[in-house]
Structure 1
């Protein structure tokens, strides 16, 4: 086990040291439900979230993994950057971790404020950032078959009404997914440990467009590919919906909060006129 310190660190009170009292206050604040819906199995849905609101993703009637994308509602070129988030935070996400956006913006789009799996024995590898969405291209490569309900396709259909396309779908946060690297440093996925009472909440730092897919592998308790893979019909038995709630929080809880500014780099990358 490596014991080196993290490569990306800030000074106390810096960009990587969020005000935990603020986010605890937001998580505990009185709130008003403004939107609620379920995302059925093997489908996707996109929705808008105003800055200063909280989104809760909940289990419904069985363990289910979801693939999450985030965009700046007013400029979809600014979107969640999973790779930089892995570097600035860690290989999975939990309370106080932030969803960092792409260059040239590089700011938190959202901050995790609640995670009922934070104390789970495997918490370090739940809400996975190492992997990305399943897609029909890799499925065709591995199985020789076409399948239209992988997370990439579900997200593509979900964002189409907002004027976005397949090219806008990006690397995800695998919410509720238990995954990591095995002793051969190969990526693995294991059965989702979530229960119907579990949820994951994040606070919108800017106006967001969110999209979530209910993974066609369901709880990932059976293999999706390889010699022991279950068929798509067998995997369906392990699929469940996910619930979405969007809350407005009382204004007093937001005292001291301001939407984050984009990165302040003012250079020209050394380009000479």
Structure 2
């Protein structure tokens, strides 16, 4: 249904847009740090809520509350981990990688970056990351892509894993958002093609993501569509859910860009 807006409302919206634009142009983004050190430091035992190993090719889902974090760690060889998420209190709000890339002006996600929802709010802050090799463009594997790549082999794929995981929390395939592939060293070369840069991700790499709202999340450990290994042999992955430290006022993820600042302002409105 078309809604006619008054001249006053249009003018107010225009003024608000121009104010945001001005703030963005005046804001000097903070430089991001070097990758987190290896090996991954131990998590304080009293902070750990749950720890689990996800078998290669399988899936896992959990609720992650605001202020908690998830460490995802490669322990038995390089393995891509696909991630999707929804607002636990309103699953119509979900992970949005298009906005994540667009408002931060980069496809390179790493420590100090944030992951946005489709409502302009911050879902995750990346508080640790040892590799910076994450793919937010390609999506996950499907039955068709696996059949073409692993001819004659019996395999699992990311799309079907997420359909199963979504069904167990009352959602269906229409609710599945775009997929964030962690530990997937995909880069766009000068020819405009997607290429796998395997040396960017190694066994032992880890990422820690702090929840900035209550969420339902799903992970899948199937190989990335561009993974050059001709054999279907995904490695298990360790996940640890823990209580994160309370972020300081100058927390990098919250202050690195004008867009992140605005995203957290939107979070504050939601949580008020």
TM exceeds 0.5?
Answer: yes
* Shift, 1:263, TM fit: 7.8
What's 2:114 paired with? 98
Q: How many Å separate the matches in 2 of 1:52 and 1:161?
A: 24
User: Equivalent residue for 2:17?
Assistant: none
Cα distance 1:261–1:148, how it changes in 2: closer, same or farther (>3 A)? Answer: farther
- 2:101 partner SS: helix
Structure 1 unaligned segments of length 5 or more: list them: 1-6, 21-26, 118-122, 223-229, 266-273
How many residue pairs get aligned? The number is 229
Q: Which residue of 38, 47, 57 corresponds with 2:53?
A: 38
Cα separation, partners in 2 of 1:192 and 1:58, compared to 1, 3 Å: farther
**Structure 2 stretches lacking a partner, 5+ long:** 1-20, 34-40, 255-262
Q: Which residue of 2 aligns with 1:134?
A: 141
Question: Aligned partners of 2:242 and 2:139: how far apart in 1?
Answer: 27
Q: Is the 8 A contact 1:63 1:218 kept in 2?
A: no
What is residue 70 of structure 1 aligned with on the other side? 85
Partner residue in 1 for 2:122: 108
Residues in 2 aligned to 1:67 and 1:181: alpha-carbon distance in whole angstroms? 19
Whether the 8 Å contact between 2:163 and 2:172 is mirrored in structure 1 is yes
Query: What is the CA deviation profile of residues 196-229 of structure 1, one whole-angstrom value per residue up to 9, with x for unaligned ones?
Result: 432101110000111111023599242xxxxxxx
Deviation per CA, 1:32-79, whole angstroms, max 9, x where unpaired?
000111111111111111101111110121110111111101111101
The two structures have a TM-score, normalised by structure 2, of: 0.71
* Alignment root-mean-square deviation, CA: 3.8
CA contact (8 A) 1:45 1:211 kept: yes
Decide which moves more: 126-135 or 74-83: 126-135
Deviation at 1:110, TM superposition (A): 1.1
Please give the secondary structure, in 1, of the residue aligned with 2:160: helix
Report the structure, 1 or 2, having the larger helix content: 2
CA distance in 1, matches of 2:212, 2:156: 31
Give me the TM-score of the superposition, normalised by structure 1: 0.71
- The Cα of 1:9 is off from its aligned counterpart by 8.0
* Conserved? CA contact 1:63–1:195, under 8 Å: yes
